[in-house]
Structure 1
């Protein structure tokens, strides 16, 4: 019995690994965030397995059933629509329960959208903070205030219809001149990364509503200069 978390391409179907394909072929069944979306990938690679729906709206309800399959000796592979399960996608609850019950779990390396967005942003990538999606309502202001003082590079996910509004909010909390990048449709035909100040990006996307999945990368706050002291006196 074993649960495999299998990353899938974030756009280009050729980005799946050979190991991921072998794992999917050997699994007894595959858990899918959306069986239709995963079905396209599986059909492309001629993989036919029993499919179970496993997504944020049913994961609490079917969790026990999936664990029972695993405890019965089954090998299951978990897929999300794109990227690595558990990264702003379903998977954490099942992973945690498997660990709690001593069921073997293995996460394969593979695609996740924020890594290429970070690297090609041109902002420091040696130390960064991934926050996923901001809270929609409750706690949003508090989170933005908290992140405004973060000195490491920030990475956020956002939906296209909220992008312009979110960038405008970031101008308010982070400052208009803070450098940032917006990447969309990564690995797809119309992939684009735009780099500019938060103010300029907010204006651009207000005038040009985007399509596709969005990753925002934001420059961290410049560290405050420390005052020098000599013999107990401030210089």
Structure 2
């Protein structure tokens, strides 16, 4: 009789407060044959806290194929394997995709054990529309690529969610001012579930100033949530279009929108979004 493969458990772990560990996750980690950790040293404190003595092996998305093959061999032999990341839900801007993909391709049952996820926690408390949203993960580290990606999202009406490194958060906010305009609402969620948890929202121009003036806000794990773009105007009248065409031929988009608002009496953000849409159509 053919041997049944084991089960790969994808186990979420706390993003800070160890009390957020769900009982089912503890039971799974105590009873599987092996735990695949992003960093075995980092996970040691969590496992010790819950008296989990299951053997661990290092696994991340940069692991060589031999480590993936070794885990798959154990699964095919009928063993149960748990996958965890350093914090939160594996595969959500964390390692695990290659292993899960190959396990499913080989007929291994993959079972999620839900728990903490930083962007979901941030969204639940940000006060931004949560019925429709986009999770973009980490933006590019280099300013030029980061700004280009943000500009491509400027007209998106759904709430935008990003992870960002603390040493880049101020530069990222400044790029958001350029891409979205200084008045777009942004919420910074920092150190969620930890001692210095901070959730602070403001117009991105104000938020950048607040972060720049307090170095503590440039530390720890960060989530940035951006209110989606307002509905675009159906169209401008002919005089407003001609005014904006002249201004855009001579000035950067942001300055053209600001001056256009003074000349036409229309809202600066409305003109900014119209110009963005026009550029997108011309591209």
Question: TM-score range with shorter-chain normalisation?
Answer: over 0.9
Residue correspondence of structure 1 range 11-26 to structure 2 within 5 A? 11-26=16-31
Which runs of 5 or more structure 2 residues have no equivalent in the other structure? 1-5, 236-283
1:217 Cα deviation after fit? 0.5
1:59 Cα deviation after fit? 5.3
Report SS of the residue matched to 2:162: strand
Tell me how far apart the structure 2 counterparts of residues 61 and 139 of structure 1 sit (CA, whole Å).
Answer: 34
> Higher Cα Rg: structure 1 or 2?
2
Give a deviation string over 1:202-228, Cα, whole Å, max 9, x none: 11212222211000000000011336x
Partner of 1:232: none
Evaluate the alpha carbon distance shift between residue 61 and residue 21 of structure 1 in structure 2; reply closer, same or farther with a 3 A threshold.
same
1:61 Cα deviation after fit? 4.8
Q: Does the 8 Å contact 1:7/1:79 carry over to 2? A: yes
Which stretch has the larger CA shift, 141-150 or 2-11?
Answer: 141-150
Question: Does residue 1:178 correspond to 2:184, yes or no?
Answer: yes
Partner of 2:230: 222
Question: Does residue 1:211 correspond to 2:219, yes or no?
Answer: yes
More helix by share: 2
Partner of 2:251: none
Tell me how far apart the structure 2 counterparts of residues 29 and 60 of structure 1 sit (CA, whole Å).
Answer: 18
Partner of 1:143: 149
Which runs of 5 or more structure 1 residues have no equivalent in the other structure? 228-235
Evaluate the alpha carbon distance shift between residue 213 and residue 59 of structure 1 in structure 2; reply closer, same or farther with a 3 A threshold.
farther
Tell me how far apart the structure 2 counterparts of residues 108 and 98 of structure 1 sit (CA, whole Å).
Answer: 16
Tell me how far apart the structure 1 counterparts of residues 64 and 205 of structure 2 sit (CA, whole Å).
Answer: 39
Tell me how far apart the structure 1 counterparts of residues 44 and 72 of structure 2 sit (CA, whole Å).
Answer: 23
Give a deviation string over 1:102-129, Cα, whole Å, max 9, x none: 1110111110001121121111011100
Runs of 4+ in 1 over 6 A off after TM superposition: none
Partner of 1:39: 44
Normalised by the size of structure 2, how large is the TM-score? Answer: 0.77
Question: Does residue 1:88 correspond to 2:93, yes or no?
Answer: yes
Tell me how far apart the structure 2 counterparts of residues 90 and 60 of structure 1 sit (CA, whole Å).
Answer: 14
**Structure having greater relative contact order (Cα 8 Å, sep ≥ 6):** 1
Q: Does the 8 Å contact 1:59/1:93 carry over to 2? A: no
Give a deviation string over 1:82-101, Cα, whole Å, max 9, x none: 00000000011111111111
Partner of 1:116: 121
Q: CA RMSD in A?
A: 1.5
